[in-house]
Amino acid sequence: MSATITSIAHYLPPDVYTNDFFAKYLDTTDEWIMTRTGISERRFLKEGATSDLIVPAALECIQKRGIDKNEIDCILVATVTPDHNFPSTAAVVQNKLGIESCWGFDISAACSGFVFALATAVSLVESGTAKKVLLCGADKMSTIVNFDDRTQAVLFGDGAGVCIVEKSDDASKGVLDKLMFIDGKGAPYLHQKAGGSAKKVSHETVENKEHYIYQDGQAVFKAAVVGMADVSTEIMRRNNLSSDDIAWLVPHQANLRIISATANRMGIGPEKVMINIEKYGNTTAGTIPICISEWLSKGLIKDGDNLVLSSFGAGFTWGSIYLKWHTNGIK
C-alpha cells in the first residue's frame, strides 16, 4: 500500500513587496538581493494569521477533490508561525472550516515542515489511522521577520500550500520513499531567542528584538547546501534513480544559489527544477506545496512523473521525499 497526494492548492496574499520597497528604507539594492538570493518579490498578509493563509487554499483543495469537508479525518499543519503557541493551528483551521469531527496537530520543523508533515501523513494513511489527511504547509513569516535587519528582511514571504493525502489505488505510485534528519547542533545558527519556555517574553526581550528570527546567514547557507544535496543524492541512490529518471526536483525555496548547488550535485539541469523564489521569497513550510500546486495548475506534472522533494531548515532539519505522481483524484 502507498499513500499519495490526491488534491493540492495554494494561497498567496495579494499585497506584493518588491526589492525596491526595501531599498527605500534599508541599505540594500534590487541588484544585491537578486544576485545573492534570486528573490525579486514577496507577499505579506496585512491582516490575519497563518490560519487565514491556510483556509482559502484548504477550501479550494477540498473543492478540487470533490469531497465533503467532513470526509477529512485528520488535519496536520506544518508551521513555525502558528496562530498561537496553543491551541494548535490545526484546531483553529478545523473550526474555521467547520469540519465536524476530526483530529490533528501542528508540526514544527521550519523549512522542512512540509516534508516532515507529508511523511507523517503518509504513515497515518498507510497504518489505517487516517483516511483523508488535510496537510497544510504555511507560514506568516512577516510576524517574526525583523524588518530593520537587511540580512533577513528581504528573504521571507507569507504563503500556504494545502493538499489531501490518502491511500493510493496504485501501490507503485504516490510517496515511495522518505529520508529525514534533525540535528540540534544547528540551533545556534537559526532560532528565535525569546517567546518559548527557554526565555519568556519580557519588556527587555522585546526591546532587544529577541522575538524575531536570529540567523547566521552564512552558517545556514553552508549547512543547507550540504544537507539538501546529501539527502537528495542519497534518496536517488537508494531508489536507483538517475538524473534522467527525475522529472522534477522540488527544492525548498530559500536561496537560488542553494537550489542550484543541490541541482548540480544531483546532475539535474535548471529546466527540471521547480523555482518560484523570485516571486514569493522563502515562505518556509509553504514553499514546496506552493511549487507543486503552481506547476500542476500549469499542466507541467504528468502521471508517473518522478518528483524529488528536498528541504533544509532551522533545527537543523532536512529531508527528501521520492514521489511518483499519481493523477488519480487530482482535478
**Catalytic site positions:** 111, 252, 282
Interface with ligand ACO, residue 254, by CB under 6 A: yes
Using the 8-state DSSP alphabet, how is residue 240 labeled?
T
Window of 3-11, 65-73, 247-255, 291-299 that interacts with ligand ACO by CB under 6 A: 247-255
In angstroms, give the least distance from the CB of 255 to ligand ACO: 4
Phi-psi region of 174 (alpha: psi -120 to 50; beta: other; left: phi over 0): left
Q: Which of 44, 312, 322, 325 binds ligand ACO (CB under 6 A)?
A: 312
Asked if 288 touches ligand ACO (CB under 6 A), the answer is: no
The secondary structure of residue 156, as a DSSP letter, is: B
Q: Using CB under 6 A, which of the segments 10-18, 64-72, 150-158, 260-268 binds ligand ACO? A: 150-158
> How many CA within 13 A on the CB side of residue 2?
20
Contacts of 54 (CB under 8 A, 6+ apart): 11, 77, 89, 93, 136, 138, 160, 162
CA atoms of 274 and 75, how far apart (whole Å): 26
- Give, as ranges, the residues between 158 and 197 that touch ligand ACO (CB under 6 A): 190
**Which helix (H) or strand (E) element contains residue 74?**
strand 74-78
Is 151 a binding residue for ligand ACO by CB under 6 A? The answer is yes
265 touches 233 (CB < 8 A): yes
Which residue's CB is nearer to ligand ACO, number 133 or number 314?
A: 314
Q: Nearest to residue 249, comparing CAs of 279, 224, 271, 281?
A: 271
Residues 6+ apart with CB under 8 A from 298: none
- Decide if residue 233 touches ligand ACO (CB under 6 A): no
Of 2, 7, 282, 310, the one binding ligand ACO (CB under 6 A) is 282
Looking at 38, 104, 186, 313, which residue binds ligand ACO (CB under 6 A)?
313
Of positions 61, 138, 220, 291, contacts ligand ACO by CB under 6 A: 220
Q: Per residue in 275-306, is it b (16+ CB within 10 Å) or e — as a string?
A: bbbebbbbbbbbbbbbbbbbbbeeeebeeebb
Q: What is the CA radius of gyration of the chain?
A: 19
Binding mask 87-126 for ligand ACO (x = CB under 6 A): ------------------------x---------------
Which residues in the 14-43 window bind ligand ACO by CB under 6 A? Answer: 28, 32-33, 36-37
Angle at 148 between CA 145 and CA 153, to 5 degrees: 45
Q: Choose, by CB under 6 A, the member of 11, 44, 221, 280 that binds ligand ACO.
A: 221
> By the criterion CB under 6 A, which residues form the site for ligand ACO?
28, 32-33, 36-37, 111, 150-151, 154-155, 190, 215, 217-218, 220-221, 224, 252, 254-255, 282, 312-314
